[in-house]
Amino acid sequence: MSAASFPEGFVWGVSTSAFQIEGATTAGGRGPSIWDGFSADRAEACDHYHRHTEDVRLMKDLGIAAYRFSVSWARVIPDGCGKVNTAGLDFYDRLLDELLAAGITPYATLYHWDLPQVLEDQGGWPVRDTARHFADYAAAVHERLGDRVDTWFTVNEPWVAAFLGYGSGVHAPGRTSAADAFRSAHHLLLAHGLAVQALRAAGAAKVGAVVNISPVLTPAQVSDAGRELSEEDAEAVARIDALANRQFLDPMLRGAYPADLIPLIERHAGLGHVRDGDLDVIARPIDLIGVNYYAPLVVQAQPSEPADPAFPGSEGVLFCTVPTAVTAMGWPIVPGCLSQLLGRLSREYPETDLMITENGADFVDVVTGDGIHDVDRISFIEEHLRALRSAIENGARVRGYFVWTLLDNLEWADGYQRKFGLVHVDFATQKRRPKDSARWYKDVIARNGLTETRPRRPTLETVAARARVSRATVSRVVNGESSVSSEVRATVMRVVRELGYVPNAAARSLVTRRTNTVALVLSVPRQGGDPLTAAVVQYVTSMLEGAGKQITLMLADTAESHRRIASHVEARLADGVVLLPPDRADTLAERLSRTGVPIVLLGKPAVTSLVPYVDVDNAGGAAAATEHLIARGRRHIGMICGPMDLTSVQDRLAGHRAALHRAGMSPILAPAGDLTRASGAAAARRLIGDNPSLDAIFAAGDQLAIGALRAAQETGRRVPDDLAIAGFDDVDAASATTPPLTTVRVPVADQALALARLLLSRLEGRHVTSVVLPARLVVRDST
């Protein structure tokens, strides 16, 4: 095997799942599933149910050798148990025939999260019978399709199904109970084991399960894998590893729950649901483990941190954001973790073959007349393949690799906004268009690997030289200008194809007079090194760069700088502007919007204007914090407001007032000139001095709240007994105070993503509307 090729017989494929692509949720007698109405978007998805012939043809054209799809339980057994719906199986029957005729090997997954609604109504995964029904369903599917499917996967990512579906409630069915989550996990494992038995009895050739394995590391280990850990951090890492990974691997491959996990399960759910003999069933031998890898989990010990509802038992562990490149999901890109995790699986579970059943990335794709040049996705997959290749070289027994995913699709709770596909789908027309990554992957498959060295990307100059035309002519051709003769056009396009040239910024700007540059204008100082803004800047930059834009960072801190920025934009030295956060008096936003250059804002501007913005639900978050204080029995709640020229502060005040009003209570307000700790402390002293019966403080920002906390303690108040204190923003310091601060968390990555998307849509000349994201209350010990 050469340095970049893969072992002979290595399987190259793509993965999809039924709910995410099929649509047609009532066709052919399909019953309802828990996901049908759960996603914010319509469940029509890619209408693959009606377009499978086209999709198989597309895969064939792309040279895809293997296809991992999932079977919809509700199509096959609409009520979850009992009568089999032949029409549902007919669909998969046709699909398999087409795949085989196209020379594509099918890999079937039996459960990719779409539980029949009828079974959820009977209790869902927390109920043991669901596992039994699953085994019957597996047998029914095998009976009809077993002659054409070699490899069967039972369940996909049981951690997600159990802990996001029943723990945090972010996924369907949206329940939030730690006990239900642990019971669901066990019953999903049991379902796996019973299905393995059923499939084996029916003569299935190969059987496995698909797990999402996330290596768990500390922020320091992201750049230095070998870094020694403190005892506290090592414990935090081990606990999250037990919850996320070993909870599933150990029962399936060793027949036992990890010893350090059992007390956590017992504390939240008891152990009554784990019956004698279950673990023997769960550990029935399997042929392979499918590994889905996207990103590591980055954690560190943080004594004050409350448990994350998706990881019940994770008290004292902080889930960190790290300063690495991220995908548009906000997931850190760490290819090295893939080789580490494969090495670990091969060492710890040496009996079982491995297969990468999902790996891929959501990026902000830019659709242009001449294609979708998703260079970021290509380099994401390429880096992960290099990591995989080195794991194989070191002895990991990995038999194949499946890209997630073939088509842009319905990404669960996030809907259509996520783009993981090798093929772009226009959801208005259902038109499919392969992205550059699809063509690149075709070459990988044909070559059974990567090129020895990373190919030097051909440039505009190379194309011009080979086609014997000027650079400007190449630029005109790739930009679809009609001023070039058809003969010259044909020559240039031939060379473009031969060289695999991807038009870059230079090629576009030569003709369009676009700079391909975006100005990121930071309005400072706002609140002395605001960490939220810093994180948003990091993410916005990463996402816009991912979409091929150059970023110019500009600081708007003086009148002179405002003038400079305005003339920079007026001179069209930037195609667009992201302004974060907007300048208080809005003069800059107004001025920039008059230039006609697309501009988007972080935070709602004071003067309602036509400029689209991304904001968090400040009023809703403040109302939630206030209602929480009221629910804890507080009757005299003061609010430290902060500068009233900030719209976020005005909205937080409005939300606070509204919640008090609903409870028949009146506001007690203390202004603060800025958002610092010192101002918070001063305002708290005034509130306490003026209101002897004060029993709670809500502050418009965490720094204010931290100042208030200190001042309260200095005046002899016990927090929360005498005085409860809540803040807003959930800055890092909020979880490190004594006692740790209850606050309102704003979604950083999602704000950045929304900003990047808004701007890109505006650059494409599309009409956009502002986005307001939810803010979630995080209850800690200060209330």
Minimum CB–partner distance for residue 46 and ligand FCB (Å): 13
Instruction: From 53-61, 153-161, 605-613, 666-674, give the range in contact with ligand FCB by CB under 6 A.
Output: 153-161
HEC letters along 578-629: EEECCCCCCHHHHHHHCCCCCEEEECCCCCCCCCCEEEECHHHHHHHHHHHH
- In whole angstroms, the minimum distance from the beta carbon of 20 to ligand FCB comes to 6
Residue listed under structure tokens 């603060």: 672
Sketch the per residue contact string, 16 through 55, with ligand FCB: x for CB under 6 A, - otherwise: -x--x-----------------------------------
Residue from the set 25, 72, 156, 783 that interacts with ligand FCB by CB under 6 A:
156
- Write the burial class of residue 571 (CB in 10 Å: 0-12 exposed, 13-18 middle, 19+ buried): exposed
**Binding pattern for the stretch 101-140 against ligand FCB, x by CB under 6 A and - elsewhere:** ----------------------------------------
Structure tokens at 322: 């790290």
């941190």: which residue's tokens?
Answer: 305
Nearest-approach distance from CB 19 to ligand FCB, in angstroms: 9
In the numeric block, which tokens belong to residue 488?
């010259």
Alpha carbon distances (Å) from 569 to 38, 269, 511, 524, 551: 43, 59, 19, 19, 13
Active site includes 560? Answer: no
Q: Which two tokens stand for residue 137?
A: 């369903």
User: What are 608-614's contacts with CB under 8 Å, separation 24+?
Assistant: 612/758, 612/762, 612/768, 612/769, 612/770, 612/771, 613/582, 613/770, 613/771, 614/751, 614/754, 614/755, 614/758, 614/770, 614/771, 614/772, 614/773
327 binds ligand FCB (CB under 6 A): no
Burial of 422 (0-12, 13-18, 19+ CB in 10 A): buried
In terms of CB distance, is 421 or 655 closer to ligand FCB? 421
Minimum CB separation from ligand FCB for residue 158, in Å? 11
Write down the catalytic residue from 358, 382, 411, 627: 358
Neighbours of 62 (CB within 10 A): 17
Could you say which of 67, 420, 441, 501 contacts ligand FCB (CB under 6 A)?
Answer: 420
Helix (H) / strand (E) containing 689: helix 677-690
Residue 409 or 783 having the CB closest to ligand FCB: 409
Closer to ligand FCB by CB, 156 or 479: give it.
156
- Exposure b/e, 89-102, CB count within 10 A at least 16 = b: bebbeebbebbeee
Binding mask 252-291 for ligand FCB (x = CB under 6 A): ----------------------------------------
Angle CA 664–669–673, to nearest 5: 155
3-state class (DSSP) for residue 490: helix
Compare residues 209 and 565 and give the one whose CB is closer to ligand FCB. 209
Q: To the nearest whole angstrom, how small is the minimum distance from the Cβ of residue 435 to ligand FCB?
A: 16
Report in angstroms how near the CB of residue 407 gets to ligand FCB at its nearest. 12
The least CB distance from residue 109 to ligand FCB, in Å, is 9
Q: Tell me if 97 sits within 8 A of 91, measured CB to CB.
A: no
Which residues between 341 and 360 bind ligand FCB (CB under 6 A)? 358
Question: What's the first-to-final CA gap in the chain, in angstroms?
Answer: 62
Interaction with ligand FCB in 62-81: which residues (CB under 6 A)? none
Question: What minimum distance in Å lies between the beta carbon of 270 and ligand FCB?
Answer: 29
Q: Does 363 bind ligand FCB (CB under 6 A)?
A: no
Q: Which residue of 108, 160, 484, 719 would you call a contact of ligand FCB, by CB under 6 A?
A: 160
Told to check if 212 binds ligand FCB by CB under 6 A, we report yes
Count of positions on this chain that bind ligand FCB (CB under 6 A): 12
Q: Select the residue interacting with ligand FCB from 55, 411, 583, 586 (CB under 6 A).
A: 411
The verdict on whether 358 is a catalytic residue reads yes
Q: Which of 264, 270, 117, 248 is nearest to 188 (CA)?
A: 248
Three-state SS sequence of 229-298: CCHHHHHHHHHHHHHHHHHHHHHHHHCCCCCCCHHHHHHHHCCCCCCCCHHHHHCCCCCEEEEECCCCEE
Binding span for ligand FCB by CB under 6 A among 22-30, 404-412, 486-494, 662-670 = 404-412
User: Is residue 66 classed as helix, strand or coil in its secondary structure?
Assistant: strand
Considering the complex, state which of residue 18 and residue 699 has its C-beta at the smaller distance from ligand FCB.
18
Q: Among the options 98, 120, 157, 627, which is catalytic?
A: 157
Residue closer to ligand FCB, measured from CB, 157 or 376: 157
**E strands, 134-238, where?**
151-156, 206-212, 216-217
Closer to ligand FCB by Cβ: residue 554 or 753: 753
User: Considering only 79-87, 152-160, 603-611, 680-688, which stretch makes contact with ligand FCB by CB under 6 A?
Assistant: 152-160
Looking at 163, 412, 613, 698, which residue binds ligand FCB (CB under 6 A)? Answer: 412
Nearer to ligand FCB by Cβ, of 17 and 743: the residue is 17
Span of 47-55, 155-163, 231-239, 717-725 interacting with ligand FCB by CB under 6 A? 155-163
The two tokens of residue 341 are 């995790």
State in angstroms the smallest separation of the CB of 357 from ligand FCB: 9
CB of 404 vs ligand FCB, minimal distance in Å: 5
What is residue 431's three-state secondary structure? strand
- Residue 363, phi-psi category: left (phi > 0), alpha (psi -120 to 50), beta (remainder): beta
**Choice from 72, 154, 184, 292 touching ligand FCB (CB under 6 A):** 292
Closer CB to ligand FCB, 358 or 730, in the complex: 358
DSSP string, 732-768: GGGGSSSSPPBEEE--HHHHHHHHHHHHHHHHTT---
How far apart (Å, rounded) are the C-alpha atoms in residues 155 and 253?
A: 15
Binding site for ligand FCB (CB under 6 A): 17, 20, 156-157, 160, 212, 292, 358, 404, 411-412, 420
Residues with a catalytic annotation lie at: 157, 358
